[in-house]
A and B are shown apart, each in its own frame.
Chain A
C-alpha cells in the first residue's frame, strides 16, 4: 500500500453515476461511486454480475455503449483531467497512451485477421510518430517484457496460432507498450486455466512494479483478490458497499454482503463425509480412449488423443469429480460416457451393460439413464420454448402422458426450489442460477441413474454457485444418484466430490478419495495445480467462519 496523503491519485472516480435506460430493474447502473487509485497501487473492484463494476471501468475508458448507458453525474479524473468532459478526440489521445485496458476473453479480444505485431504497432502509429525501425524495436522489447518466447515469431503470428495465456500476454503488451499511467484489467484471468492465471497475475504484478503503473483490477474472484490487491472496493447493485486495504477486507469484513461473498468461496478442505463402500457401481469405464483426427484423404491430419486409458468408477449415491485444465480431456470423457460422441476404444459399463459400442437403437433405451447438465445455462435451454415444455420433452419422448409429465415437472420444480407455477414462463425470464436449476430439473425428469454435471456451476456468481452446489448435493443424497462432476475449479471439487480423478493431457494422472488427493497429492501435476490456485494461502472456509462468528 502506498502513502496516499503525500501523492495525488492517478485515477479519482468521484461520486460517479451512470444511468440505465428506462424499463430496467433499477435506475442507475452505477450509483454515486467514489474510488481512487494511487501511483503503483493495485485496486481490486469486486462484485457479482450486474454489480456495476465493469460499467465503472468502461466509464473511465469512455467506452460505454452510446445511447444505452450515460454517465449523468460525478467526475472521473485521470491525473486531474476530467475524462467525462473530454472531447472524443482528447479521449482517443488518452486511450492506449495514458490509460489502457485488458479484457476478459483473450480468445476474442484480438483481431483474428491481423498479426499480433501489427496490432501492437497500431497503438504506436496512432499515438506516436516513431519510424518503422523504432516501432519494431519497441514491439520486440515489450514482447520480451511480457515474457513471450521468441518475440519475432510472436509478432508475426496470428492470434489463433497462440494459446490463451500467450494471447493475454499480447494484450498486456499492447496495453503497456506506451507506458500508460493507468491500466484497467477487466477480469483478465477469468477465462484462463489456473496455472496460466497464476503466471498472468504474477506478470501483471511484476510489470506494474517496474513501470509504476496504477492498476484498477475488476474481478469476481476473491482468490484473485487475495493474490494481487493492495486495496479492495466491494460493489453491489451499483454502489460501493465496502472499501479498504486488502488484508483488512478479506480478514475482517464489516458489511454482511462482503461477509456473504467471502463465505461463499468454497474451501479447499474436502467435506470428508463417510462413503458407503458397498453401494453398487453405477458407472465404470475401462481403458476408455478417444482419438480425434487421423489421416484425411488429401490432407495429413494430426491425430489427437483426447482421452487415453481412462478407467474410473462411480457408485450409487457418490460423486466422482474429474478435475483438469482446458484440453485435459475431462469433457471428452463426459461426452463419451453420455455417448454424445463415440469412444474410439475401451468399455463403458452402465450397471452391467457395455454401452461403449452400443448401436443407436440400443442406445435409445439407455439414454434415459444418463443425463447431462451443461456449463452455460444461458445457452442450454431453447429460448423459444417454455421451461415446462423443455422439462417434459424428455419423459414424453419415452412415452409418458402429458398430464403425468407436467405433474412430475411441477414436483421437480419444487425439488430445485423454484415456483412450480413458473412452468409456462420462458428461459429469459429467469436469472442464470434459476436457469441452471431448471436444467437440473430437466435432467432429473428422466429419472437417470447417473447425472453428469459438466462445469455446471462455472458460469455462475460465487453466491449462486454455492446455492447450486448445495442443491446438487442435496439431490444426490435424496435421490441416491451417482454423479459425475466435471470441473476446472479445485475448490468446487473439494466441496462436492467423494472421489477425484485429476486429468492431464488426456490421461488420469491421479485418482483416489477426495480427502487423499487434496490432503496429500502424489503426482507433480496435481501439486502444480494446487500451488497455482489463487488465494491458496488464505483459507476462505475458516475465514468465513471467523467473520460470521
Chain B
C-alpha cells in the first residue's frame, strides 16, 4: 500500500511535466498578444514592442519554456502580466471561495444523488424510479448558466430568500458564508446529481440481482439492511469512480458558476486571465488543476481498496 502511494506520487512528475510543456505551447500557438492587451487600444507599435521585450516574449520559445520551468522548480510561478502580482499569491487569494463552492457542491450532490439512486433501484420500475430518471434527464439537459439565472430569478428576486450574488469568507461567520453558497452549490450540483444518481441506480440494480443479496434475504434481513449493508457497499466502486470524475469536471463548472454568481474564486480568475492573455497566471492555474486531478485519482484508487477487500495494492 505504502509502496503503491510512493509509486503513484512519483508518477505525477512526468504527468505534470507533460502538462507544463503542452500548456506552454498551446498558449503561444493561440492567437492574441499579451503585450497588445497590456498596451491597450491606444498603444503605439513601439510601446507594444517595448512591453514584449520587458516581458521576455521576444526570446525563442525554448528559452522561454526553460526559464519558466526553471523558475517553477524553485517555487516561483512568476508575475502576473495583468494583475502585477505574484501568481502564487494571486492563486492563494482565490482558492478559498472555489474550495468552499466545490466542497458544498460535492456534499450536497452526494447527500442527494446516492439516496435517490438507491431508492430508484429498489423501487425499480415504479413511478418513483421513473421520476428519478426523468429528473436525471432534465438535469443533464439544462445548461449551468440557464439554471443559475432561473434560480436567481425565483429564489433571490421573486422570493427574497437568498442574496443574488456575492461571496463572504468563512471568517465573516458561518451563516453568511453558507447563505451565499447555497444557490451556487445547487446550480452546480444538478448535473452531478443527475449523473451520480443514474450511476448509483444502475450499479445498485445490478448488485440487487446478485446471489449474495438473495442469501441476505434468506437470512431474514429487512430490505433496509439488505440495501445498506449488502447492496450499497458492493455497488460503491463505480459510484466512487464517477464521483471522482465528477470532482474533476466540477472545476469546469466552477468557471461558469462563479461568473454567474460573481464569486471571486479560481474560476473567475481563469476567465480574467484568459481574457487578458495573462500567460503566467493561466499556466499556473492549469498546473494547479492538473495536480488536483492527479491527487483525486489517487484518492479514488485508495478508496477502492477500502470498499472492496479484493482490491489490494
Q: Could you tell me which A residues sit within 8 Å of B by CB distance?
A: 61, 63, 92-97, 100-101, 103, 105, 108-114, 122-123, 126-127, 158, 160, 171, 174, 298
Contacts and interface: CB of A to CB of B under 8 A. Distances in A.
Contacts of B211: 103, 105, 108-109
Interface in B196-215: 210-212, 214-215
Given A158-B309, A298-B3, A112 B212 contact: yes
Per CB-CB distance, the 9 closest pairs between chain A and chain B, nearest first, are A96-B220, A95-B220, A108-B211, A96-B219, A111-B212, A109-B211, A92-B220, A158-B309, A101-B218
Contacts of B215: 103, 109-111, 171, 174
Given A111-B212, A112-B310, A92 B221 contact: yes
A108 B234 CA distance: 12
A123 B220 contact: yes
B222 A92 contact: yes
A365 to B, nearest CB: 42
Contacts of B217: 63, 95
Give the one of A109, A110, A123, A174 with max B CB within 10 A.
Answer: A109
Contacts of A171: 215
B137 interface: no
Interface in B211-250: 211-212, 214-222, 225, 229-230, 233-234
Nearest to B313: A299
B307 interface: yes
B3 A127 contact: no
**SS class of chain B's interface: helix, strand, loop or mixed?**
helix
12 contacts: A63-B214, A95-B217, A96-B218, A96-B219, A100-B218, A108-B210, A110-B212, A122-B216, A122-B219, A123-B219, A126-B220, A158-B310
B76 interface: no
Contact of A298 (B7, B233, B234): B7
B239 to A, nearest CB: 14
A89 B221 CA distance: 10
Interface string B98-121: 000000000000000000000000
Nearest to A95: B220
Give the one of B212, B218, B234, B307 with max A CB within 10 A.
Answer: B218
A158 B220 CA distance: 21
Contacts, number: 70
A127 to B, nearest CB: 6
A127 B220 contact: yes
Contacts of A160: 309-310
A126 B229 CA distance: 13
A508 to B, nearest CB: 33
Contacts of A109: 211-212, 214-215
B308 interface: yes
Give the one of B220, B229, B230 with max A CB within 10 A.
Answer: B220
B3 to A, nearest CB: 7
A171 B218 CA distance: 11
Contacts of B219: 95-96, 100, 122-123, 126, 174
A94 B271 CA distance: 64
A111 B214 CA distance: 10
Nearest to A297: B7
A160 B234 CA distance: 14
A297 B267 CA distance: 41
A122 B216 CA distance: 9
Contacts of B234: 111-113
Contacts of A174: 215, 219
Interface string B288-313: 00000000000000000001111000
B208 to A, nearest CB: 11
Nearest to A157: B309
Contacts of A61: 218
B238 to A, nearest CB: 14
B226 to A, nearest CB: 10
Contacts of B230: 111, 114
Nearest to A122: B219
B129 to A, nearest CB: 13
Contacts of A97: 220
B308 A113 contact: yes
B212 A94 contact: no
A95 B220 CA distance: 5
A327 B243 CA distance: 38
B22 to A, nearest CB: 27
Contacts of B233: 113
A146 to B, nearest CB: 16
Given A122-B221, A298-B3, A112 B308 contact: yes
Contacts of A127: 220
A458 B133 CA distance: 41
Contacts of B212: 108-112
B56 to A, nearest CB: 42
Contacts of B218: 61, 63, 95-96, 100-101
Contacts of B225: 126
Contacts of A63: 214, 217-218
B308 A103 contact: no
Interface in B167-219: 210-212, 214-219
A467 to B, nearest CB: 30
A62 to B, nearest CB: 9
A127 B210 CA distance: 23
Nearest to B219: A96
A101 B219 CA distance: 8
Contacts of A123: 219-220
Nearest to B234: A113
Contacts of B220: 92-97, 123, 126-127
Contacts of B310: 112, 158, 160
Contact of B221 (A94, A126, A158): A126
A171 B212 CA distance: 11
A148 B216 CA distance: 22
